[in-house]
């Protein structure tokens, strides 16, 4: 049988227990304003995103939105580039 470790307050080996300093999860989530749009896509494209969504246990609309957001971010010129 394995020996159980007994944890106590204070120092544990070379480490010191510190107070929780992270913000609550709701402050870590970046809320962005969404605008509802209607778009016509090829059936094969939607089928592809639905297949990916099933394997990732998410919604295909979210994948398409993230793809478009990523593309727009990469195409937006930064202040140092012309």
- Residues 60-73, mean pLDDT to the nearest whole number: 92
- Residues 28-46, mean pLDDT to the nearest whole number: 89
pLDDT of 73 over the 70 cut: yes
pLDDT: is 23 or 45 the higher one? 45
**Global pTM value:** 0.56
φ, ψ at 15 (rounded to 5°):
-110, 155
Which H helix or E strand runs over 11? strand 11-12
User: How far apart (Å, rounded) are the C-alpha atoms in residues 41 and 50?
Assistant: 13
- Residues 15-38, mean pLDDT to the nearest whole number: 79
- Domains in the chain (CATH in brackets) are 34-82 (1.10.1220)
- Give 9's DSSP letter: S
φ, ψ at 8 (rounded to 5°):
-135, 165
């Amino acid at each position: 049988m394995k020996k159980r470790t007994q944890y106590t307050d204070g120092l544990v080996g070379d480490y010191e227990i510190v107070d929780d300093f992270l913000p609550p999860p709701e402050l870590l989530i970046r809320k962005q304003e969404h605008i509802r749009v209607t778009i016509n896509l090829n059936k094969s494209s939607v089928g592809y995103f639905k297949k990916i969504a099933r394997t990732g246990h998410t919604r295909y609309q979210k994948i398409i939105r993230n793809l478009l957001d990523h593309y727009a971010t990469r195409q937006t010129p930064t202040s140092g580039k012309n």
